[in-house]
Structure 1
Amino acid sequence: MKGLKMEASGVFRSSARLRALMLLAVLFMFAPSAQPVHAQDVSLSIQQWSFFADTAGERISGPGQHVSIGLIGGLTPRLELDFSAVTMLTPKPGDSLLGAVSLGYSLLAERWINDRVPPNWVSMLAEIGFLGGGTELWARGFSGATPKAQVFVRFTPLVLGNSFYRRRDRLLALGFAYDLLKQRGSFFFNFFAIDASLRR
């Protein structure tokens, strides 16, 4: 157990440079939207996930389809924060449980202006985030689950709708994730996401 802790701390120390670079990327990417942060809207989101194998043939959560359910909150007219829980849908429903948090930036237009002014209906989304939790729950249970931790960037080329219209569809997102524990990169794909606004 002590050896495992020492190994994990070494991995996190060696990835300090990567985390610093990602923080600088976030600051640079969102600098144009700097303004007083205020809550704008909250949406309930459901999203499909597919994970591809890394160079060692491993995935963060095995083959098959995954689904996430979460909440997205607007911070500024272009900036949003997404919290969601990701789990395996097939072939073993519930065999993994991961948490995802991401910061997203709307590229082509504001995601929200106000109740009277509709933003552009078509947009794109760039995100940076973290994905972590446990897998192999069927075989190992919650206490023995295999730990996972990744940072990721994701680009969604087609975003239709927004909170003004009470619904938004995100299509064909591609992401790249870096495994903090194994120090390997891999890709993932989100074919679709449906965001339903909780505004009255």
Structure 2
Amino acid sequence: MPLYKTLAPNSQTTVKIWKISESYDDLMLPINLKSGSLKRVLGMKSELHQRGFLSVRHLLAAFGYEDNDLFYDENGKPHLKDGKQISITHSFNFSAVIVSDCIVGIDIEKQRDKITVIAHKFIDYEFDYLNENDSIYIKKLTTIWCVKESLYKLFATPVLSFKQHCLVIPVSDHKDETVAWIDYENKKYRYNIHFLEFEGFTCAYAIA
């Protein structure tokens, strides 16, 4: 069973990460999907996306849920029928789910050089403390992206801008926690951030 990692950042929150090593058929066989989910996965053109989708359903099972326990609102934010908070992510061969009593968001991204090309689109304040010559510049950019993506998922407001509304407080090289803010419509919202790296990927999650 490729449950890669389980984390418990507080007594109300659990994160589970899955390493997707199985084939599409192996992932599909033991899972019961509702009709909408089955139609969705069969309609995906990429097997990588299909396997990511199915691995998330295996993660739900690891939490004790079924596909039928999950639904999405008009903004695309996932919810659980029992009222627990949930956020979902997958990237290449990793997926993750966070479940909590608190409002949460999570993101996984592969660390790739091409993030430097789009950095100006999602970074503003953070450029003040970043150094392009830093040996871990790519990793820092990826972490900031993951943090802002997790904030976006948590806040679930389509017009939220990574660059204009989300601020990630700098963190030292050997820390795995920080604070981030959403500054939106003259209100400021503070979130605790955790992040980790593994096998060339970064995962960050935000907790209200």
With normalisation by structure 2, the TM-score equals 0.27
User: Would you tell me which structure has more strand in proportion to its own residues?
Assistant: 1
User: Would you tell me which structure has more helix in proportion to its own residues?
Assistant: 2
